[in-house]
Amino acid sequence: MGNSALYEDLIKGYDKQLDHSGVSGERLAKRLHALSEIGYTEPGGIKRPGLSNEEKQAKQLVRSWMEEAGLSVREDGAGNVFGSLPGRSAGPAIASGSHVDSVPNGGNFDGPLGVLSALEVVEAWKSVGFVPEKPYEVVIFTDEEGSRFNSGLTGSRAMTGDITEQEMNQLRDYNGEGLEQVLDTYGSSLDGFRKSVRNLSELELFAEVHIEQGKKLEQENQPVGIVSGIAGPAWMEVKFSGQAGHAGNTPMIGRTDSLVAAGEFVSRLPQLPPAISETAVATVGKLDVSPNGINVIPEQVVLHVDARDIHKEPRDMLVERIRSLAEEVADKHGVSVSLQQNTSITPVPIAEELQQEIAAVLEEQGIVPVRIPSGAGHDAMIVGRHIPVAMLFVRSKDGISHNPKEWSSLSDCVHGVHALKAFIESRMAKS
C-alpha cells in the first residue's frame, strides 16, 4: 500500500458512530497519513531512524498539532517532546504517548498511533470544553526502535537516567558516528542529553497505546486489549565444543559432534517455557557452526537464546532450566558446554488495579477485556521501572509489524482512543 492511499484506506469502512465525545476518526486518519509521507519508502513503508532528519520532521509536525490543540510544548536535550495541558488542580501529571521513529522499511502504526491517540484525547476535551482534573502530557520519545544505534529506547532511557556515561561514549550509529556527533547534527548536544533526566515525581502515571504486533485480539475478535505486563528479555550465549574430524573417515561411534548436541538442545528448548509459566517464551534466533564445512564434523556451535517472561521469578527460573538442559545435553553427547548471560532486563508487570480499571472501561464500550502479555519492549517498559504504567493494545491485522503491511483499521484505532480517554478520565477522578 502506497502512502497516497493511506487516508482513503483508513476512512473506507470506518464506523462513523465512533465519532462522539469529541473524538474524530477523520482527524486521526489525516494525521496518520501526514506522518506516513515523512520518510516514505517505495513499497509503502517508512524509514525514520532515531535522531534523523526524518524523525525530527515528524516531531515538528506533531508539535504543530500539539500547539494548535493548546498544549505548551518543550523538547529536552535527548529530543523527547512534551506537550503539557494544565488541570483544574496542580500536582503530578498523567502522561501518554509513544514514538515516531521506525525500523528500516517499517509500518505506519507502530509508535505514531500511540502519540496521535494521546493527542486525540486533548482534541476531544478541547472540542467539548472539558478541563481535566489533573495536568496531562502528550509525549514523543526519541529513538525507541534502536535502528540508529542497535540499542533502542534511547529517549525514555535518557529521561529516566537509565543510560550510563559508559554507554553514551560507546554508542556508534550505522555511519560509525558516536552519540555526541549524532546529537550535534540533530541540533542538540551530549551535555543537553545528560540534562534530559527528569524529576519523575512530576508524573503520576504513563499510559501507552500501541499496536499489538500479535494475533491474540484478532483471534478473540476484539479491537482493543489490556497489556498484563511487559516481558524482560534474558539473552544467553551457549557454546557447545566437541572435536572436528573428517565426515567420511570418522566412525559414528565415539564422535563428539557439537552440532548434534546443539540440535537436541534446540529441539527440546520449546518444552521448557510452558512448564514454568503461560507467558514465558524462549527462542534460539542465532546459531554459528564452526568450522562450518560440508565434510567436517562440527567442532563448535555457538547459539543465542532469548528467554522472556512478564514476571522476573519465572523468567529467572526459565534461565536456570535452560542452563540445566544445556549441561544435560552436553553430558549426553560427550561435548563440553559454557553459558554466558549477556543481557537481563527486569520485566515490568502492570498493576492489577490498573488492569481492572481498563477492563471496566472496555466493558462500558462493549468490548470483552482480553489480557495480553507484551513480548516486545516499549517506552512504557523503561518508564515503568520508576512510576506506574499502563498499556492498551490495538488489534493488528495478521499480527504483522515492522513491515509496510502493518495495519490496524481506523475503527479499531478509534476504539483505542476512546478507551485511553475514558481510562485517563477515571484515573484523574481518583485523588
- Residues tagged in the binding site annotation for Zn(2+): 99, 110, 145, 210, 402
Cell digits of residue 247? 565426515
3-state secondary structure of 85: strand
Residue carrying the nine cell digits 553514551: 168
Element (H, E) at 384: none
Q: Where is the binding site, in residues? A: 99, 110, 145, 210, 402
Q: Which sign, positive or negative, has the C-alpha torsion 102, 104, 110, 112? A: positive
Q: Which sign, positive or negative, has the C-alpha torsion 423, 426, 428, 431? A: negative
Cell digits of residue 260? 548434534
Residue carrying the nine cell digits 476512512: 11
Cell digits of residue 51? 535522531
Q: In terms of Cα–Cα distance, which of 420, 401, 402 is closest to 412?
A: 420
Q: Please, what's the b/e burial string for 94-105 (b: 16 or more CB within 10 A of its CB; e: otherwise)?
A: bbbbbbbbbbeb
Distance CA 11, CA 72 (A): 30
Cell digits of residue 36? 506516513
DSSP state of 231: P
Element (H, E) at 348: strand 348-349
